[in-house]
């Protein structure tokens, strides 16, 4: 097996759904399951972030007549069914079913056309990026898929080939960033980006708290809670 990883980047104004992610950097989305044929697609996505961001997301997402995957300026208008399966103050789990995928200029449809059945998909969204990971059998060529994806892209959308190689971390998505509160996730990301976990440490808790504009005690509490969540999830997944 091999995996094909591509990243789609959206300039502001090029896609209503991705504009919501750009407007709310704390918002994340990740697929829990995604199945595609040349005729249809059905998937389950979990989104995490503040209530205001999730409300804006629902307004953009739950438009049954707009194809959220289409990359062409000639956006297809096939019907799609959406349903919020579960929700909380910081998460939404959304089921979607698109029964008329034929002719859509999108990653899932073109992948099914070029590579056939038997593919597995994982999708994540954050800020202006939508990242697709595709698990495929050995011997399948992705060159024609990449060429077709690059054709007729609408303005403000770019596609990058990120990786083509051995599969990594498949199945890990059942523990998603959407399960971690946004304040704790932001704190953890700042600590990693700032070199807090390097040896020796490249920054201090005090400096990171100042960068985030919170008291040091608040920073340390959020970081400890995030670390505890990660440790608990790791143990529960590996035992």
Residue 54: what are its φ and ψ, rounded to 5°?
-70, -35
- Return the closest-CA partner of residue 44 out of 28, 62, 31: 31
- pLDDT attached to residue 117: 84
Are 198 and 167 part of one and the same domain?
no
CATH code, 203: 1.10.10
Q: What is the domain extent for residue 199?
A: 180-238
Q: How many domains are there within the chain?
A: 2
Are 202 and 161 part of one and the same domain?
no
- HSE-up of 189 (CA within 13 Å, CB side)? 11
Q: How many residues does the chain have?
A: 239
For residues 67-76, give the mean pLDDT: 82
Inter-CA distances, 226 with 32, 109, 184, 230, 237, Å? 21, 37, 5, 6, 17
For the ranges 89-98, 163-172, 208-217, which has the lowest average pLDDT? 163-172
Identify the band that residue 64 occupies on the pLDDT scale cut at 50, 70 and 90: low
Q: Report if pTM > 0.85.
A: no
Domain boundary among 151, 171, 191: 171
Which residues, in sequence order, are CB contacts of 59 under 8 Å at separation 6+?
none
Does 237 have pLDDT greater than 50?
A: no
Are 220 and 166 part of one and the same domain?
no
Identify the band that residue 238 occupies on the pLDDT scale cut at 50, 70 and 90: very low
Q: Which residue has the higher pLDDT, 167 or 142?
A: 142
Are 59 and 136 part of one and the same domain?
yes
Q: What is the pLDDT of residues 191-200, one digit of tens each?
A: 999 999 999 9
Are 31 and 137 part of one and the same domain?
yes
Are 67 and 95 part of one and the same domain?
yes
- pLDDT attached to residue 32: 85
Does 65 have pLDDT greater than 80?
A: no
For residues 140-159, give the mean pLDDT: 89
CB atoms near residue 53 (< 10 Å): 21
Domain boundary among 171, 204, 229: 171
Are 189 and 136 part of one and the same domain?
no
| CA separation for the pair 130, 150 (Å, rounded) | 15
Are 216 and 134 part of one and the same domain?
no
Q: Which residue has the higher pLDDT, 127 or 162?
A: 127
| CA separation for the pair 76, 51 (Å, rounded) | 30
- pLDDT attached to residue 134: 92
Identify the band that residue 178 occupies on the pLDDT scale cut at 50, 70 and 90: low
């Amino acid at each position: 097996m091999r995996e094909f990883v591509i990243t789609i980047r959206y300039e502001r104004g090029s896609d209503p759904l991705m504009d919501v992610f750009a407007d709310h950097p704390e918002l994340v989305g990740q697929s829990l399951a995604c199945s595609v044929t040349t005729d249809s697609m059905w998937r389950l996505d979990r989104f995490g972030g503040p209530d205001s961001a999730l409300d804006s997301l629902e307004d953009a997402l739950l438009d049954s007549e707009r194809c959220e995957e289409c990359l062409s300026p000639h956006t297809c208008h096939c019907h799609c069914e959406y349903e919020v399966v579960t929700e909380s103050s910081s998460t939404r789990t959304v089921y979607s079913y698109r029964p008329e995928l034929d002719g859509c200029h999108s990653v899932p449809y073109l992948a099914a056309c070029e590579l056939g059945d038997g593919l597995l998909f994982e999708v994540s969204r954050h800020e202006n990026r939508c990242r697709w990971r595709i698990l495929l059998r050995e011997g399948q060529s992705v060159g024609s898929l990449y060429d077709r994806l690059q054709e007729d892209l609408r303005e403000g959308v770019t596609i990058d080939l990120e990786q083509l190689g051995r599969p990594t971390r498949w199945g890990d998505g059942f523990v998603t960033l959407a399960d971690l509160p946004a304040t704790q996730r932001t704190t953890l990301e700042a600590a990693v980006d700032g070199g807090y976990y390097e040896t020796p440490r490249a920054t201090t808790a005090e400096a990171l708290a100042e960068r985030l504009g919170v008291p040091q005690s608040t920073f340390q509490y959020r970081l400890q809670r995030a670390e505890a969540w990660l440790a608990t999830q790791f143990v529960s997944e590996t035992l």
